[in-house]
Chains A and B, each alone.
Chain A
Amino acid sequence: NAGVTQTPKFQVLKTGQSMTLQCAQDMNHNSMYWYRQDPGMGLRLIYYSASEGTTDKGEVPNGYNVSRLNKREFSLRLESAAPSQTSVYFCASSHRETYEQYFGPGTRLTVT
């Protein structure tokens, strides 16, 4: 039981490049989330998916797209990376009823 896994752990991009962050969970959770954490700050919700086939915007969705590929996987795509997207990205999942969230280890992204 790996919990929530994220790949890659680290990534450096040049401005304008694109990439996809991958997230998978093996806890049979319905809901999945993407957050970003900037230095010295709390997490901010980018997108979430309440169930397979649905996605909704969070607090800071601009510049990102998501795909809920199946119940296990939820990916985050940066189409044209900008330095303002330099951050640590966390994926999380929860069983809808309990709402308790379980987090992945994070992806540290630097855009130069």
Chain B
Amino acid sequence: GIQVEQSPPDLILQEGANSTLRCNFSDSVNNLQWFHQNPWGQLINLFYIPSGTKQNGRLSATTVATERYSLLYISSSQTTDSGVYFCAVDDMRFGAGTRLTVKP
């Protein structure tokens, strides 16, 4: 199956800072999604983005399908952005996630 690698595994930021999370995948995909798991365990779909760029408020995502990676940008981070960010591809193969901690 497709291999999904996320980096960095951990990220600590001060409130207000910007960050970029990366998702690499080993083969071409038709489906790529980004999720946020909050500290209470709830999973929220952020983007469905098999290619191109999307923006939703302070969050945006870009997938370059030909180069097999996707980026999630978080601008002006807030403490409520803390949690784990996962990407998942095609047959819902998840990466191991990036744990983000935003300090006040």
Residues of A within 8 A of B (CB): 33, 35, 40-45, 48, 58-59, 88, 90, 92, 98-103, 105-106
Residue of A35, A41, A106 touching B41 (CB-CB under 8 A): A106
Q: Is the CB of B86 within 8 A of A42?
A: yes
| A33-B92, A41-B96, A44-B94 given; A99·B48 CB < 8 A | yes
Give the B interface residue count (CB, 8 A): 20
- Going nearest first, the 9 A-B pairs with the smallest beta carbon separation are A42-B94, A103-B43, A100-B48, A43-B94, A45-B92, A42-B96, A100-B45, A99-B31, A42-B97
Interface residues of B in 49-75 (CB under 8 A from A): none
Q: Classify the secondary structure of A's interface with B.
A: strand
User: Given the complex of chains A and B, what is the CA–CA distance between A45 and B93 in angstroms?
Assistant: 7
User: Given the complex of chains A and B, what is the CA–CA distance between A44 and B88 in angstroms?
Assistant: 10
Q: Classify the secondary structure of B's interface with A.
A: strand
Least CB distance from A82 to B in Å reads 23
Q: Which residue of chain A lies nearest to B45 when distances are taken between CB atoms in the complex?
A: A100
Q: Is the CB of B94 within 8 A of A101?
A: no
Contact with A along B71-82 (1 / 0, CB 8 A): 000000000000
Contact with A along B32-51 (1 / 0, CB 8 A): 01010000011111001000
A-B contact pairs, 13 of them (CB 8 A): A41-B96, A42-B88, A42-B95, A42-B96, A58-B91, A58-B92, A90-B43, A98-B48, A100-B45, A100-B48, A101-B33, A101-B35, A106-B41
